[in-house]
């Protein structure tokens, strides 16, 4: 950066002179920046107005989309209401017809559950680790004849080690064939009590240890088994009653594969995540059994088939005959291992019906367009529950409210931006759009073919100025809900016609608004493009003007610098001249 020392030779404040000359030039930039701010403000106002017009289009499309039918037809929507939603709820589509039904729910549908016939896991033995059983580190407090003995448990210990710890405390620990733990005093006649508030191991609660008051022994309500969800199914120490072979099996229509890395946990996750299996699997550590529950309600079996793996055989869900080479010769499903769900039973207007699901569709009820979701059975106190199907006038009414609100917002927005001194004052296309839309909502519509010709006849109107109310706002709309609902009840087809018919008022609004919002050719895109062009031009002018000013400033500084240099040299020459003249 060049450093300027003002007036070193002349003593004049030349820097201030430069700034003064430059400031005159900068006045042109200030004017351009003001112009740029004005154009950008116009663009912002235009964008806000465009949003208001777009919202109006969205509001009328809720009605005009009726021409597409189905779920788009707001006028055809129906509602289904239960008189007791604790018993059932219902939904209706456009095919539903106005009607009342008396419905009595006798029973709900339930799910089928398949459970291993016997424990699939072997009972824990002395070599079984406490960690695999879920027993945590900590202390178990025992009292033999009132003498306290704390047994410390490490989950790296085995069942055999725990037996020795109990034996050292004078307690005998046995495990039955069913995996139940029995603890009793080693010496006959000794009293035994187990557990205190200071215990830190979960042993007592995990196995469900309970005292037998008759003989003073303790017996577990839960059994302990070797197999766990972390078990690799095909490993030699998997803990199951039989070795499990790698291979495949089927649940529902889903085929599952077991390899050397498959754990019980990963297999259960695969079953639960499968849409084709349509079932949820669960391993019960307390019983050593696998449970599979259908995701579909009703009295239907879960399809379970053995494949090249014997997994379902080991789980006690199927029984297969295998040849010497390990191939399945024959297989059957244990139907007795499955507790069938029940079908839903209900009556509609006295006619008894059966459904395999608690979601009862028109295929069962013969009520077109209505789906009933059963929640519970009726009680004697309930009596029958009423289903009322009627036109969904609430959604229609809310849509009219939304139109009135967005129309008024649009009107206010255009009035604001086109007022005297406002950003878009003088935009005749915008005021023309506003006036056209006003003429639609205030005018008579004789081409829709319905009974109603004016929006005011169905509750959508502007205020009217009279001698009692000279200041009434005759532009904004208001909505008389009661009048609208009455018109809808008396002549729904005519309400539909004046709003969304081919020549309906909302259809005309939609067409006009669409033209203004049309890409490239619509008013808003054309005007935005013009403003963008103007912004670019002004910004370019400012850029060039600033560059010109910088050049002008540099030229001035150079001229004054040259002047100062010349004056300085003159002063030096004068000093030399006067220095050589002898004094008197």
State the pLDDT at residue 114.
96
State the pLDDT at residue 424.
92
Torsion of CA 350, 353, 359, 365, to 10 degrees: -70
| pLDDT one-digit tens code per residue, 479-488 | 999 999 999 8
Residue 500 and residue 505: Cα distance in Å, rounded? 7
What would the DSSP string read from start to end of 233-258? TTSTTS-BSSPPPSEEEEETTEEEEE
State the DSSP H helix or E strand holding residue 32, giving kind and residue range, or none if neither. Answer: helix 14-64
Indicate the pLDDT class of residue 15, thresholds 50, 70 and 90: confident
DSSP class of residue 469 equals B
Indicate the pLDDT class of residue 181, thresholds 50, 70 and 90: very high
Asked which of 353-362, 463-472, 504-513 is least confident by mean pLDDT, the reply is 463-472
Structure token digits, residue 403:
């139109």
Answer yes or no: are the C-beta atoms of 455 and 505 closer than 8 Å.
yes
| pLDDT one-digit tens code per residue, 260-297 | 999 999 999 999 999 999 999 999 988 999 999 999 99
Q: Is the pLDDT of residue 3 over 90?
A: no
State the pLDDT at residue 9.
52
Q: Count Cβ atoms below 10 Å from residue 451 Cβ, excluding itself.
A: 15
Answer yes or no: are the C-beta atoms of 368 and 83 closer than 8 Å.
no
| pLDDT one-digit tens code per residue, 68-79 | 776 677 787 788
State the DSSP H helix or E strand holding residue 99, giving kind and residue range, or none if neither. Answer: strand 99-107
Q: Count Cβ atoms below 10 Å from residue 156 Cβ, excluding itself.
A: 10
State the pLDDT at residue 28.
84
State the pLDDT at residue 67.
75
Residue 136 and residue 205: Cα distance in Å, rounded? 11
What is the pLDDT averaged over residues 494-510? 90
SS (H, E, C) 112-177: EEEECCCCCECECCCCCECCCCCCCCEEEEEEECCEEEEEEECCCCEHHHHHHHHHHCCEEEEECC
Q: Is the pLDDT of residue 5 over 60?
A: no
Q: Is the pLDDT of residue 584 over 90?
A: no
Q: Angle, nearest 10°, between helix axes 428-442 and 393-418? A: 150
Question: Domain extents for the chain?
Answer: 53-73+394-518, 78-109+343-391, 138-223, 229-339
What is the pLDDT averaged over residues 349-359? 95
Most confidently modeled range among 157-171, 385-399, 550-564, 569-583: 157-171
| Better-scored residue on pLDDT, 583 or 510 | 510
Residue 229 and residue 266: Cα distance in Å, rounded? 8
Answer yes or no: are the C-beta atoms of 314 and 120 closer than 8 Å.
yes
DSSP class of residue 583 equals P
State the pLDDT at residue 98.
84
**Mean pLDDT for the chain?**
89
Asked which of 1-5, 70-74, 419-423 is least confident by mean pLDDT, the reply is 1-5
Structure token digits, residue 438:
């006003």
């Amino acid at each position: 950066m060049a450093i300027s020392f003002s007036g070193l030779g002349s003593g004049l404040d030349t820097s201030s002179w430069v700034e003064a000359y430059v400031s005159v030039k900068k006045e042109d930039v200030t004017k351009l920046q003001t112009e740029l701010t004005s154009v950008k403000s116009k663009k912002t106002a235009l964008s806000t107005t465009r949003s208001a017009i777009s919202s109006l289009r969205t509001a009328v499309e809720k009605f005009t989309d009726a021409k597409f039918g189905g779920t788009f037809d707001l006028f055809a929507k129906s509602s289904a209401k239960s008189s007791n939603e604790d018993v059932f709820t219902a939904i209706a589509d456009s095919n539903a017809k106005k009607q009342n039904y008396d419905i009595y729910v006798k029973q709900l549908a339930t799910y089928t559950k398949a459970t291993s016939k016997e424990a699939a896991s072997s009972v824990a033995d002395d070599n079984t680790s406490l960690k695999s059983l879920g027993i945590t580190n900590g202390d178990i407090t025992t009292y033999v004849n009132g003498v306290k003995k704390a047994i410390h448990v490490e989950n790296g210990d085995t069942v055999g080690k725990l037996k020795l710890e109990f034996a050292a405390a004078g307690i005998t620990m046995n495990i039955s064939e069913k995996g139940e733990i029995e603890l009793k005093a080693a010496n006959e006649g000794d009293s035994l009590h187990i557990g205190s508030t200071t215990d830190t191991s979960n042993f007592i609660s995990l196995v469900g240890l309970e005292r037998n008051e008759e003989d003073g022994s303790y017996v577990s309500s839960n059994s302990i088994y070797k197999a766990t969800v972390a078990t690799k199914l095909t490993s030699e120490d998997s803990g199951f009653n039989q070795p499990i072979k790698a291979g495949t099996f089927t649940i529902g229509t889903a085929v599952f594969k077991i390899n050397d890395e498959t754990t019980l946990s990963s297999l259960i996750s695969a079953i639960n995540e499968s849409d084709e299996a349509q079932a949820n699997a669960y391993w019960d550590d307390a019983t050593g059994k696998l449970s599979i529950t259908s995701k579909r309600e009703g009295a239907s079996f879960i399809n379970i088939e053995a494949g090249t793996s014997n997994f379902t055989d080991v789980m006690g869900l199927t029984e297969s005959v295998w040849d010497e080479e390990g191939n399945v010769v024959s297989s059957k499903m244990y139907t007795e291992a499955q507790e069938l769900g029940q079908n839903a039973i209900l009556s509609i207007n006295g006619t008894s019906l059966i459904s395999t699901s608690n979601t009862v569709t028109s295929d069962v009820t013969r009520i077109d367009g209505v789906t009933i979701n059963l929640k519970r059975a009726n009680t004697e106190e309930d009596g029958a529950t009423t289903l009322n199907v009627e036109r969904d006038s609430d959604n229609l009414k809310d849509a009219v409210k939304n139109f009135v609100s967005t129309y008024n917002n649009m009107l206010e927005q255009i009035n604001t931006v086109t007022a005297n001194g406002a950003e878009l004052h003088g935009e005749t296309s915008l005021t023309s759009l506003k006036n056209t839309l006003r003429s639609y909502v205030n005018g008579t519509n004789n081409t829709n073919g319905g009974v109603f010709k004016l929006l005011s006849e169905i509750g959508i109107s502007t205020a009217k100025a009279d001698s009692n109310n000279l200041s009434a706002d005759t532009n904004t709309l208001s909505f008389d809900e009661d009048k609208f609902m009455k018109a809808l009840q008396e002549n729904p087809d005519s309400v539909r016609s004046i709003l969304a018919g081919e020549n309906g008022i909302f259809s005309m609004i939609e067409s006009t608004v669409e033209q203004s919002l049309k890409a490239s050719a619509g008013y808003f895109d054309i005007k935005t493009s013009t403003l963008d062009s103007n912004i670019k031009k002004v910004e370019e002018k400012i850029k060039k003007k600033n560059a010109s000013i910088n050049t002008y400033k540099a030229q001035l500084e150079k001229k004054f610098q040259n002047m100062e240099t010349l004056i300085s040299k003159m002063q030096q020459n004068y000093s030399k001249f006067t220095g050589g003249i002898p004094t008197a």
